[in-house]
């Protein structure tokens, strides 16, 4: 396959590894030692692991010792939502509040009994209803509550009001976790400034390798029980020998993302907005999901009434363009999005949802290729409409 002849616009599914990151991973693969060994080889491995921990911590404005490496963002979220998260000296949470648009790693990855879980509705733009959250917290008075709201949605790119959510939580003594898998490396995130108790992320979303993630716990917040038992690695929070090449790659990707965060965000937002305007000219009845809310600079979620996502995805793929119908965590299936359903989008319109997500290697020629493929698909749709009229 000649990948250079194609345009990859599915960075929210995974962002291709940067060459610098691949080089860092390759070097780490040659290191002979185990990071837990005390000989010279082990100390060398420990040094590069801790360097990577510092790089990830810097991306999130936190201290290196707050970062625990995991095998994925899903594992990290499962660990936080296992029921073991707590503030030191305080009881474990007995109730979980989750937004209606969470990724499955949160919605289906927690260990709370069904009767202890409540969903938080979102508005038509996809943002958590703060008035409802406040009411739920008042109703839970006397209980220890854990709130889990993602920093940004994987399908629409809608950014949640985390500062306001944390303020409400603090007033009621609740803990707050945020799945920041889509946001990390794309928008500024400062864990201490936000006041989050826990944050989770994944390396492959910001051009690191697949198969490595991390969780960040605030000072005074612990996992009472290690998520993986069997060793003392990762400050006894997660047993098992660390995936050194993956962690080194994640650290390298985090450092690159941090250094270019503002400039790259502006570049991608400009490309995204230019593309959106061009597509509206092609399809005046196009709907952009989450348009009324702050969004990730790289994400455009849209639908054209009457255009099926499966049809469009196949046609675009044949045109040399890779996009998605939504989350990539549905085994390759095109199904109705629970995210759009929670936003009140009709089933007919949701069936045509396309997600275009840009990244570090996206250029204007990629958008031009997408526009041409999109125009062919939409022209065919409009032609069929005219014949049926």
3-state secondary structure of 257: helix
**Number of C-beta neighbours around residue 186 at 10 A:** 29
Tens of pLDDT, residue by residue over 310-357, are 999 999 999 999 999 965 555 455 567 999 999 999 999 999 999 999
Q: What are phi and psi of 40, to 5 degrees?
A: -60, -40
Q: Would the CA dihedral through 191, 223, 180, 131 be positive or negative?
A: negative
Report the chain's mean pLDDT, rounded to a whole number.
94
Q: Contact 148/113 with Cβ under 8 angstroms?
A: no
Report the C-alpha gap between 98 and 106 in whole angstroms: 8
The whole-number pLDDT of residue 230 equals: 83
Model pLDDT for residues 15-35, shown as the tens digit of each residue: 999 999 999 999 999 999 999
CA 350 to centroid of chain Cα atoms: 21
Distance (Å, whole) CA 334 – CA 320: 19
176 close to 169: Cβ distance less than 8 angstroms: yes
What is the per-residue pLDDT for 236?
87
Please choose, from the candidates 96, 87, 157, 98, the residue with its C-alpha nearest in 3D space to the C-alpha of residue 126: 157
Find the mean pLDDT for residues 7-21.
Answer: 98
**Domain residue limits, the chain:** 3-16+261-388, 19-259
| CATH C-level class of 19-259 | alpha beta
Cα gap 23→243, rounded to integer Å: 16
Other C-beta atoms closer than 10 Å to the C-beta of 323 total 23
Give tens-digit pLDDT for 260-293.
999 999 999 999 999 999 999 999 999 999 998 9
pLDDT recorded at residue 331: 40
Residues 6+ apart with CB under 8 A from 310: 325, 334
The pLDDT, as a whole number, for residue 332 is: 53
Is 329 marked active-site?
yes
Could you tell me which residues come within 8 angstroms of residue 372 by beta carbon, excluding any fewer than 6 positions away?
319
For residue 326, the model assigns a pLDDT of 67
Q: What pLDDT does 226 receive?
A: 85
Please identify which of the residues 108, 260, 329, 335 carries the catalytic annotation: 329
Q: How far apart are CA 205 and CA 213, in angstroms?
A: 10
DSSP 15: P
* Integer angstrom CA distances of residue 324 from 10, 71, 208, 357: 6, 24, 20, 8
Three-point CA angle 248, 252, 258, nearest 5°: 140
Question: What pLDDT is attached to residue 76?
Answer: 96
Other C-beta atoms within 10 Å of 346: how many?
Answer: 11
List CB contacts of 53: < 8 A, sequence separation 6 or more. 64, 67, 69, 247, 251
C-alpha angle 342-348-351 in degrees, rounded to nearest 5: 75
Measured from the Cβ of residue 149, the count of other Cβ atoms closer than 10 Å reads 26
Name beta bridge partners: 7. Answer: 321
Give the domain 3-16+261-388 fold. Answer: 3.90.1150
Q: Which residues pair with 71 in a beta bridge?
A: none
pLDDT over 70 (residue 208): yes
Question: Would you give the end-to-end CA distance of the chain in angstroms?
Answer: 42
Q: Is 347 helix (H, G, I), strand (E, B) or coil?
A: helix
Tokens for 268? 């991608």
Residue 231 has a pLDDT of 84
Q: What is the pLDDT of residue 327?
A: 52
pLDDT at 218: 97
pLDDT band at 142 (very low <50, low <70, confident <90, very high): confident
Share above pLDDT 70 across residues of the chain, in percent, rounded to a whole number: 97
- Residues 36/241, Cβ–Cβ less than 8 Å: yes
- Residues 75-109 have pLDDT tens digits of 999 999 998 899 988 888 999 999 999 999 998 89
What is the C-alpha to C-alpha distance for residues 358 and 268, in angstroms, rounded to an integer?
Answer: 7
With a cut of 80, say whether residue 3 has pLDDT above it. no
Reference 60, options 275, 286, 220, 214; nearest CA is 214
């Amino acid at each position: 396959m000649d990948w250079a002849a194609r345009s990859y616009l599915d960075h929210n599914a995974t962002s291709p590894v940067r060459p610098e990151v691949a080089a860092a991973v390759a070097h780490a693969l040659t290191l002979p030692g185990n990071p837990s060994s005390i000989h010279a080889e082990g100390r060398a491995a420990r040094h590069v692991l801790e360097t990577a921990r510092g790089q990830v911590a810097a991306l999130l404005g936190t201290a290196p010792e707050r970062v625990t490496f995991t095998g994925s963002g899903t594992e990290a979220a499962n660990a936080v939502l296992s029921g073991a998260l707590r503030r030191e000296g305080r009881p474990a949470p007995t109730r979980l509040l989750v937004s209606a648009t969470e990724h499955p790693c949160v919605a289906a990855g927690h260990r709370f009994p069904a009767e202890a879980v409540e969903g938080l509705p979102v508005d038509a733009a996809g943002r958590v209803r703060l008035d409802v959250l406040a009411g739920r917290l008042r109703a839970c008075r006397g209980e220890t509550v854990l709130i889990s709201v993602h920093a940004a949605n994987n399908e629409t790119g809608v950014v949640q009001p985390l500062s306001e959510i944390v303020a409400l939580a603090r007033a009621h003594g609740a803990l707050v976790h945020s799945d920041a898998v889509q946001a990390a490396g794309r928008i500024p995130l400062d864990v201490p400034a936000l006041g989050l108790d826990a944050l989770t992320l994944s390396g492959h979303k910001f051009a690191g390798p697949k198969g490595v993630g991390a969780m960040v716990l605030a000072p005074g917040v612990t996992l009472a029980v290690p998520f993986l038992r069997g060793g003392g690695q990762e400050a006894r929070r997660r047993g098992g020998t660390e995936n050194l090449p993956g962690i080194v790659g994640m650290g390298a990707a985090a450092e690159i993302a941090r250094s270019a965060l503002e400039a790259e965000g502006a570049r991608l937002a400009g490309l995204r907005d230019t593309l959106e305007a061009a597509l509206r000219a092609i399809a005046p009845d196009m709907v952009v999901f989450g348009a009324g809310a702050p969004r990730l600079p790289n994400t455009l979620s849209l639908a054209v009434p009457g255009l099926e996502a499966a049809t469009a995805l196949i046609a675009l793929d044949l045109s040399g363009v890779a996009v998605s119908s939504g989350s990539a965590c549905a085994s390759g299936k095109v199904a109705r999005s629970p995210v759009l359903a929670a936003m009140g989008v009709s089933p007919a319109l949701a069936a045509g949802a396309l997600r275009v997500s840009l990244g570090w290697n996206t250029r204007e020629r990629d958008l031009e290729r997408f526009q041409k493929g999109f125009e062919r698909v939409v022209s065919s749709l409009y032609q069929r409409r005219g014949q049926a009229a």
